[in-house]
Amino acid sequence: MKKNLKTTLLMGIGIGLIISSTFNIINKEFFQEEINDEYIKIKAKQMGMIDPKDHFIKNDEYHKEVKKEETIIEKNSEKELVKVSIPKGSTSEEIGEILKDHKIIQSTQLFLKRINSKNLEEKLRWGIYEMEKNTPIDKIIEKITNKE
């Protein structure tokens, strides 16, 4: 009787494994999305990751664009307005460099320290801004975080 019980138990386990494996194979064939490069890129963008190729191409285009777009809008004896373009997806370090390149700020490090002390790293917004040279850093931060 014990042999029959062991044999039946082992056969049941074996049949169960075969059936579950079959369902698993069928499920994967019919219901799994095809994973290819495009699928991976879409999922990565949904998670907030960037494609390095897009990032470097964007920066090259930005620097070419800056040279074309960098115009002084108004020049008085008291103030100079400069048009500044901040590309979408720019980091706070990149924004600091852009502002320094346009002579809006004197120190990228001071700008970054102020951004970090106010916990605004994720609040910086891309876009085209008109800013006065030698504006206080706090005013610049207000403008590019849309708090102005």
CA-wise closest residue to 87 among 39, 128, 121, 49? 128
If you average pLDDT over residues 21-31, what whole number do you get?
75
Question: What is the per-residue pLDDT for 77?
Answer: 43
Q: Is the confidence at residue 72, as pLDDT, over 50?
A: no
Q: Is the confidence at residue 4, as pLDDT, over 80?
A: yes
Six-digit token pair at 72?
Answer: 């002084």
Give the residue extent of every domain in the chain.
1-31, 51-144
Question: Do 106 and 100 contact (CB within 8 A), yes or no?
Answer: yes
Q: Is the confidence at residue 74, as pLDDT, over 70?
A: no
Neighbours of 34 (CB within 10 A): 6
pLDDT digits (tens, 9 = 90+) for 104-123: 888 889 988 988 888 888 88
CA angle 110, 61, 109 (to 5 degrees): 5
Q: Is the confidence at residue 66, as pLDDT, over 60?
A: no
| CATH number attached to the domain at 51-144 | 3.30.1490.480
